[in-house]
Structure 1
């Protein structure tokens, strides 16, 4: 018998005697008042009514007691059912947690570390409701709370200034504020097309976050005063210009800045007049232009007194008549910190650079020729460079120049232990 059947039985047992009682109807003596004179022939009838009423009251009291007893039993059954429901709910929650990651019982700190490893494999995250970290806030209340309380989930962001102009930057601000005081990695894409009559681009909402940046990539036309405020946390700075004059200036103190990438694949780098950087404190430098003059390359090497890794492309050692670069004499340059140098060569004249350059700390050299058969390998100048530098060269990679391969045996004698790739 189920609990429901038991309750129905108790109710039927308690109510059936009550329902079977006949209705009380007024007697023929109802018109007499309690103070009026009652005829003597009615006394016996009145005593019979009194006796009947007392019997009925006793029966009703019994039935009320039965009903109260029944209600007590029902309340007991209700209490046991509630206890049973709590047990069933706990079992349900436990077993759901076993099969549902959204209800997992991992500590919040561990769950947050797992979330961090779910971030897109990119340096700058583009916001998307279907990707981490935003998608984590839509799974369940626990995941949302953990995601919002894990600052490292929100430290990377790719910003479109065009979208920011529409929303006032509120979406990006809300994202970056969740990072709290953790250093930021931000890519800013300047995709707003401005004509002469347009009002200046407003990036005031962005300035406070730039001061919190350790990694900043500015992609697009320059904005005056971009880095005028404090950027003391900046350790890596990348700038990519395409259709604008290349202009870079960091007037604020940047004691942490160690890595710089300068890119403009549609421009030539004639000189460093438009570039103001703390060259002396850099450890890593990458310069990618359509053409880079050999003289400018040597000037950069001379300024970067602590740099260890340098990548330059594309070096135009001897400008041709088809470029607007002016030939400048290559000044002898010594750099005692570079241990890895990678250069792409687009014109003849690499030998002139070897003649002017001395790198005593060089361990790895990578050279790529843009025209495989057009320019010969400067064997004599390279041999003199290695001898003069007295460098511990361990790796030599030369791409797209077959002439270099014929000299590898000689280079191995000069540098025992050298590994060469052609």
Structure 2
């Protein structure tokens, strides 16, 4: 008798679960297309790769209506991660089908390049979409021929990331072929010096963000002279300066993240003025040079809001001095 009661109770719970599922399914089916579209947008992963296990591909196999809605939403198909390896001819059909669904909207693409002839392969794929690509990241995971050539002839390009870590590749030798619309440049791997920075003209004058590794602090100052529109920068200094630094004021830089184990902060603080600085992130400095930093703050007279970073330690007294000098400073 007890066993029969248990079975009846289980059957009841299963029936209730089925009914709830049917009601939910019915409710989802009745959702207006606008609401369903908004839900689909929130389903997108951070990086999109053609796989049936992730949106937007997953959304196309749930039911016919979901597929129709998803296929009719160009903004679901504007981000794509592509792997240049293996059977490229088969992959390119899938990638091209994906990109066609974007219907002319701005595209954000990430390439993981394994093949030696990646540049030629990728440029053939991108040719129909050169006016739509606004963001491009190229990660070279083996020796390939000049990855920066993938960014050439993309007139709408605004953001470019080039990574050649572990590939033994030299830094790109010219910026002349980059789009005049380029605003953000990140180069991971090679070190920039004065010569390479000079060879990149005129691209620097357009940039508002740069993320680079520098051989010396004077190379960073040279970069600041050329990037007069710069509003944010992430810089790694590998060696200390090789010559005296002339005082310099950059009027537009609002966020500076400087990573250096060479203890170059005194030289930086003594020579640089940043009257519009809002955020300062200093990482891996061997010593915090408070006297030079306070002189930098007084000279810059900037609306600083935050100071933070790894390996930087201030005393309570030093924090109080900073807050007293900069009323806008909220976090130290």
**TM-score, normalising length: structure 2:** 0.80
Structure 2 distance, partners of 1:339, 1:235, is: 20
> Out of 105, 125, 138, which is 1:205 matched to?
125
Contact 2:232 2:255 in 1 (8 A): yes
Name the SS for the 2:262 alignment partner: coil
Q: What SS does the aligned partner of 2:80 have? A: strand
Unaligned 5+ runs, structure 2? 1-19
Higher gyration radius (CA): 1
CA 1:378–1:102 in structure 2 vs 1: closer, same or farther (change >3 Å)? same
Distance 1:394 1:137, change over 3 A: closer
Q: TM-score, normalised by structure 1?
A: 0.64
- Which residue pairs with 1:148 in the alignment? 71
Distance 2:261 2:172 in 1: 24
Provide the secondary structure at the position in 1 that maps to 2:150: coil
Matched, 1:369 2:284: yes
Question: Secondary structure in 2 aligned to 1:117?
Answer: helix
Q: For residues 380 and 401 of structure 1, do their structure 2 counterparts lie closer, same or farther at Cα, with a shift above 3 Å needed?
A: same
1:219 aligns with 2:142: no
What secondary structure sits across from 1:412 in the alignment? helix
Match of 1:171 in 2: 94
Q: Give 3-state SS (helix, strand or coil) of 1:133's partner.
A: coil
Match of 1:38 in 2: none
Residues 349 and 219 of structure 1: is their aligned pair in 2 closer, same or farther, counting only changes over 3 Å? same
- d(CA) in 2 for partners of 1:390 and 1:100? 60
Secondary structure of the corresponding residue to residue 159 of structure 1: strand
CA separation in 2, counterparts of 1:417 and 1:273?
A: 37
Aligned to 1:49: none
Q: Cα gap change, 1:206/1:376 in structure 2, threshold over 3 Å: closer, same or farther?
A: same
In the alignment, the residues of structure 2 paired with residue 200 and residue 388 of structure 1 have an alpha-carbon distance, to the nearest angstrom, of 48
Residues 152 and 179, structure 2, Cα contact 8 Å, conserved in 1: no
Indicate conservation of the 8 Å contact 2:176/2:203, yes or no.
Answer: no
* Deviation sequence 1:240-275 (CA, Å, 0-9, x none): 1212112165535735432222212xx433332564
Higher relative contact order (CA 8 A, sep 6+): 2
In structure 2, the partner of 1:241 is: 164
The answer to whether the Cα contact below 8 Å between 2:119 and 2:147 also exists between their aligned partners in 1 is no
Between the aligned partners of 1:119 and 1:367, the Cα distance in structure 2 is 34
Partner in structure 2 of residue 108 of structure 1: 33
SS state at 1:116 partner: helix
Q: 1:101 to 1:112 in 2, by over 3 A?
A: farther
SS at match of 1:382: helix
* Contact 1:102-1:140 within 8 A present in 2 as well: no
Describe the SS at the equivalent of 2:191.
strand
